[in-house]
Structure 1
Amino acid sequence: MKKKILVVDDELSICLLLENFLSENYDVTTIRDGFEASLWLEDNIPDLIISDIQMPQMDGYEFLTKLRKRGFTKHTPVIMLSGKSESKERIKCYRLGAQDYLTKPFNPEELDELVKKNLYPTLSH
């Protein structure tokens, strides 16, 4: 059975790119904002979440904070995506509980390695 990945990003192009890139090996669900993703998570538990930071309604920081307060998703690995490369952004994500941070535009090979690292932490690549 394929591992489930939830992608949360308000940019349709990023959602399509990630879905296209990841769907061969994973069961991918894309949702366009943090609020809708929070509702989806009430009935679904993904193995990994990839979330943008800058989104309307509920940004990635708020989404990550809510995620970490919920019992079922408290330990779900999260990779944050952002157009900002400043270390203060990364540090904030790590402090809120993200496992990784990837700057847009991202290298698909790097994304693939981060996904594998978070889904299969005991395997060495």
Structure 2
Amino acid sequence: MKKKILAIDDELTMTTLLEFFLGNNYDVVTVNSGKEALKWLDGNLPDLIISDIQMSDLDGFEFLKQFRLRGYTKHTPVIMLSGRAESKERVKCYKLGAQDYLTKPFNPEELDEVVKKNLYPIHYANAW
């Protein structure tokens, strides 16, 4: 059974790209808002979440805060996506409980490695 990834972004292009790059190896579920993601999470638990930060109805920071307050989701890894590369934004994400942070546009190979690192924390590398 494939690992499940929830991808959250209000840009259809980005969710399509995430599905394209990850869909062969993972079951990718896409939603277009933080509110929609929280609703989906009421009945589902993914193995990993990839979330945009800048969204209109509920930004990625607030989504991450609300997501981490749910007891059963506190260990689910989260990768944040942003068009901003500033260190203060990365630090804020880490303080709110994100494991990783990628800037857009991302390198598909880096995305793949970051996803593997979060889904298989010790044994993801091909060769040591």
Give 1:95's aligned amino acid: K
3-state DSSP of counterpart to 2:71: coil
1:115 — aligned with what? 115
Matches within 5 A, 1:37-116: 37-116=37-116
CA distance in structure 1 between the aligned counterparts of 2:4 and 2:88, rounded to whole angstroms:
30
Aligned residues between the structures: 125
Counterpart contact for 2:7–2:29, Cα < 8 Å = yes
Task: Structure 1: state its 5+ residue gaps.
Answer: none
TM-score normalised by structure 2 residue count? 0.96
Q: Displacement, 1:124?
A: 4.3
2:27 — aligned with what? 27
Q: Displacement, 1:71?
A: 1.4
TM-score normalised by structure 1 residue count? 0.99
**Cα RMSD for the two superposed structures:** 0.6
Task: Structure 2: state its 5+ residue gaps.
Answer: none
CA distance in structure 2 between the aligned counterparts of 1:58 and 1:45, rounded to whole angstroms:
20
Counterpart contact for 2:83–2:105, Cα < 8 Å = yes
- Structure 1 segments, 4+ long, off by >4 Å, are none
